[in-house]
Amino acid sequence: MIKGAIFDVDGTLLDTMPIWTNSGANYLASLGIEAEPRLGDKLFAMTVDMGAEYLKANYGLSQSCREIAKGINGIVEGHYFNDADFKPGARELLDRMKSAKIPLAIATSTEKYCIEAAFDRLGYKDYFDVILTCGEVGASKSNPKIFFEAVAALGTPIEDTWLFEDGLYSIKTAKAEGFKIVGVYDKVSEADQEEIKQYADIYVKDLTEFTLI
C-alpha cells in the first residue's frame, strides 16, 4: 500500500539531468578553465555547495564557494524558469496520486527556488506537501536525513512510503532505511541500471509503467 510518496526531481519527474551533467564543466569554461574528463560523474552525488567546494579545492579558484555555487546555479536556473518539462508519465502519475489523496514530498539536490519556479510554471507546485532540498537539510542523499525529514513531514510510516528516484546512491541510502523504492530510468544513469533494478521494489523505464495506484 502507498500511504505517502517522496519524489526526486531531476531525472525522475523532470527531464533536467543533462543540464546538470555539464554544469561544472560549463562553469569552469566560463572562467577559461578546461575541466577534467568526466567531471560530471564526480559531481553527480554532490550538492551544489559540495560541488563548489570540490571545484575550488581542485582548480585553485579565487572565487568563494558561495560565488561558485551561485555561478553554477546561474548556468542551470534558466531551464527551470523557462523550459524544463515533465518526463513521460510524470504529470499523469501526480494527478492520480492527488486524486487518491496520497501526500507527496519532494527531496532534491537542486536549489528550492529553481524547483518551485519549474513546478509553479507547470501548475503543480501545490501538489506537494513539502519541498526539501539537500542544501536546507545540510546533507547529500548519501545520508538519509532528507528522507527522514520528508517522511516526518508527510506523517506516513517509512515502510508504506515510496521513493521515486533515478540515482543509485540515493536509492541505496533510502532502501537501507526501509523505504519502498521505485527505480526510474534516466539515460544519464545508463551504466547504473542493472544495479538499480537490484535495489528497486519496482523498476520503470518511465512513469507511465507505474500502475500500483
List, for residues 134-160, the tens digit of each pLDDT value.
Answer: 999 999 999 999 999 999 999 999 999
pLDDT digits (tens, 9 = 90+) for 74-102: 989 989 999 999 999 999 999 999 999 99
Q: At what angle do helices 23-30 and 65-82 cross, to 10 degrees?
A: 120
The per-residue pLDDT for 1 is: 86
Going by C-alpha positions, the residue among 52, 48, 74, 70 that lies closest to residue 136 is: 48
- Confidence bin at 45 (pLDDT 50/70/90): confident
Please state the pTM of the whole predicted model. 0.91
Whether the pLDDT of residue 106 is over 90: the answer is: yes
How far is Cα 104 from Cα 42, in angstroms, rounded to an integer?
30
The per-residue pLDDT for 41 is: 87
Residue 157 burial (CB count, 10 A): 12
- For residue 95 the three cell numbers come to 494527478
Q: Which residues contact 51 (CB under 8 A, 6 or more apart)?
A: 24, 43, 69, 72
Going by C-alpha positions, the residue among 12, 76, 83, 14 that lies closest to residue 43 is: 76
- Mean pLDDT computed over 205-213: 94
Residue 69 burial (CB count, 10 A): 23
Helical (H) or strand (E) element with 30: helix 23-30
How far is Cα 115 from Cα 106, in angstroms, rounded to an integer?
9
- For residue 204 the three cell numbers come to 520503470
